[in-house]
Amino acid sequence: MPEWLILILVTAGVCALVVAVTLLNQRRVPEDDDPSETPDVIEYMTMMIGVVYAIVLGLAIAGVWEARGAAQDGVRTEAQALHEVSERAAGYPAPVRDRIRADARAYADHVVSKEWQVMIDKGELTDRGATLLAELRRDVTDYTPRTEREWHIYQPLVDQVAAVDAAREARAQNAGPTMPRVVWLGLVVGAALVVGLLFTLQIRRTPRELAMAAMFCALMVFLLFLVWDFDAPFGRSVGDTTDPFSDLFPS
């Protein structure tokens, strides 16, 4: 199911629930009830809880956004280093060059077509990807340069393969969700509490008040959706963050 459809359905469901609860609650309110009689302490508590929750929610969004940015930087580093291996191999003899380039492309194709989906679904990398990278490393390190020019190419190639390996290891460590479950529990319970506090302010059935309550709930859902979406450092679909590989190794 597309993420935008999930957002729309959840937002519509929460807004409809809040409006329905408000309408049902108003049926039990006496005709002479005065909303202005809400104690000042309740308004103060509502404001303080809202401020505290806003700070926590902002920190959560900033945290997952920073983690996603770092993960995507690592992907760009991995793809660029792999591309450098392919390009620098041009100075080697044709059989060695073609073998290195074939291994680099096989690794890139596997990451995009196979490994990325496994990483999203299971939070881990594939053994096949590690095998392909080992084959690339072996092709680079096993060749003994024969000319001075090839010796100048050899060490940068080894360094770039090491950079690919380091970036891959970082990708493995960042493959899982960023937010701990206890933080998610706090965010969801806090959102329910903040929305529930709307009813302590004695919302009436006027279109203006119902619209404001619905928009407030929609905003809460949207912010939690942002946290959920950014909580996957490498996206929730294959095309989200594989562009560095696809751009440097087009099909």
For residue range 183-221, list pLDDT tens digits in order: 899 999 998 888 877 766 666 667 777 787 788 888 888
Give me the pLDDT at residue 156, please.
Answer: 92
Please choose, from the candidates 175, 156, 166, the residue with its C-alpha nearest in 3D space to the C-alpha of residue 133. Answer: 166
Between CA 75 and CA 125 the distance in angstroms is: 13
The rounded mean pLDDT for the chain is: 85
Determine the pLDDT at residue 195: 80
Please name the amino acid found at residue 189.
V
Helix 40-88 with 207-230: angle, nearest 10 deg: 30
- Written as six digits, the tokens of 68 are 């996603």
Q: At a CB cut-off of 8 Å and minimum separation 6, what does 141 contact?
A: 158, 161
Q: Give Dmax over CA atoms of the chain in angstroms.
A: 97
Show the CA angle centred on residue 88, arms to residues 85 and 94, nearest 5°: 100
The fraction of the chain above a pLDDT of 70, given in percent, is 87
- Predicted structure pTM score: 0.78
Q: Distance of CA 18 to CAs 35, 105, 205, 211, 214, Å?
A: 18, 53, 12, 11, 7
Query: What are the start-end ranges of the H helices in the chain?
Result: 3-26, 40-88, 94-110, 116-122, 127-142, 148-173, 181-196, 207-230, 243-248
pLDDT tens readout for residues 65-116: 998 888 889 999 999 999 999 999 998 999 999 999 999 999 999 999 999 9
Give 23's pLDDT tier (boundaries 50, 70, 90). confident
